[in-house]
Structure 1
């Protein structure tokens, strides 16, 4: 499961000799490569109760994929692994409390796994209806004397900045622009044309999440939870109402969830 930003990750590695036996090494180094390609080497200690087993603690500072590389000498051994760190405030349609209630979970033992599937559910819902949890996006558009620019994500709450990425390029104030909330289309209020390599910063999503979207999210979450549990048992009345694969999502989304999302489906061509 992804780690929280700012949480401590305990890394463990086993040094084994060529016969596969755990062995105390002459030296042990673990290198963590961060998403920005910088690297850190936290202190390594050997477990006094399990010779040949090493550990290191690292406090996360950057969201994204991290690569872990263990290297030992005397005997020579190496091991590579990865871990993920989620962003500080990942968009989530459902709270952990709502998800646990819907899944009828009393214990907090599976909270990390539940949160993972909440995030997966959010992505699945937004595939159909665009951003649900309001947040900022930044994207660039190459515009050549165009009447309008269509932003990639809708519904759009507000455009907060439009700047040229080229020195001396035209920059537009947000007060001089109009944005269509549902389609993401941006035009000039004076009827003029837009030109240049422009970077748009804007907020998209919903300030109030409708019941049909929240209901669909619960159905998708329950379905994903059931399918990943395998033989460990499921929930009463699980939604296995799949008749055909969904383009882009296969069988991940039950049809009744799609039906709930239909009133808010994005128009063709809008991401």
Structure 2
């Protein structure tokens, strides 16, 4: 689930590609960076499929993960009834509308694809910065400020320079 490959992370950290000692940890960092950036942006930044249960009661509902690019299937949780996705329209913002036929009702399981075809400008670099930040703070290279007997942390999971590359978070619609 990472927008950064293992090779890209190693290059950012100046680790030899043949050195496999930290590969598992680096991929954990890459996955965590992608997740943190998605939470910051309130958007999916790596295209993938989601399955989500929604209780419906009308002709319009909203899916959680955006931007939505394709509605794969809709199935009644209790009934097993499959809904014809051709009679539904889904917008990138996750809004699902019934175009024809009865309204959506009850507990439904939506399977859909969300996320851009490729990372937007700055997202991959922001992920690399977060990985480097996490790597260096774990190893004590980013440094902490010592104020007497108190240690002030060196930063947060998303450094300011990475947050600036991402831009403002997408507004959340409840």
User: Within 1, Cα distance between the matches of 2:71 and 2:130?
Assistant: 31
Distance 1:200 1:210, change over 3 A: same
For 1:177, which of 78, 85, 88 is the aligned residue?
Answer: 88
Q: Using CA pairs below 8 Å that are at least 6 residues apart, which structure has the higher relative contact order?
A: 2
Question: 1:262 and 2:172 equivalent?
Answer: no
Who is 2:131 aligned against?
221
Secondary structure in structure 2 of the residue aligned to 1:92 = coil
Q: Is the 8 A contact 2:70 2:112 kept in 1?
A: yes
Secondary structure at the residue paired with 1:215? Answer: helix
Match of 2:69 among 157, 160, 165: 157
- Choose which of 18, 29, 44 in structure 2 pairs with 1:117: 29
Q: CA deviation at 1:168?
A: 7.7
**Helix, strand or coil: the match of 1:259?**
helix
Counterpart Cα distance in 2 of 1:142 and 1:234: 47
Q: Is the 8 A contact 1:241 1:256 kept in 2?
A: no
4+ residue runs over 6 A deviation: none
Counterpart contact for 1:140–1:197, Cα < 8 Å = yes
Compute the displacement of 1:197 (Å): 1.6
Residues 1-80 of structure 1 aligned to structure 2 (within 5 Å): none
SS in 2 for 1:210: coil
CA distance in 1, matches of 2:15, 2:139: 13
Q: What is the CA–CA distance in structure 2 between the aligned matches of 1:168 and 1:257, rounded to whole Å?
A: 44
What is the TM-score of this pair, normalised by structure 2? 0.82
Match of 1:62 in 2: none
Is the contact made by 1:156 and 1:203 (CA closer than 8 Å) also made in structure 2? yes
- The residue number in structure 2 matching 1:95 is 5
Where does the alignment leave 5 or more consecutive residues of structure 2 unmatched? 144-152
Q: Distance in 1 between matches of 2:123 and 2:96?
A: 26
1:148 to 57, 60, 63: 60
Contact persistence 2:137–2:154 (CA under 8 A) = no
Partner of 2:147: none
TM-score computed with the length of structure 1 as normaliser = 0.54
Which structure's CA Rg is the greater one?
1
Secondary structure, in 3 states, of the residue corresponding to 1:195?
strand
Shift of 1:234: 5.3
Aligned residue-pair number: 162
1:201 equivalenced with 2:111 (yes/no):
yes
The 1:227–1:177 alpha-carbon spacing in structure 2 relative to 1, beyond 3 Å, is same
CA distance in 1 between partners of 2:103 and 2:89 (Å): 13
Rate the CA distance shift 1:96–1:196 in 2: closer, same or farther, 3 A: same
Q: CA RMSD in A?
A: 2.4
5+ long unaligned stretches in structure 1: 1-90, 243-250
- Alpha-carbon separation, structure 2, partners of 1:224 and 1:192: 50
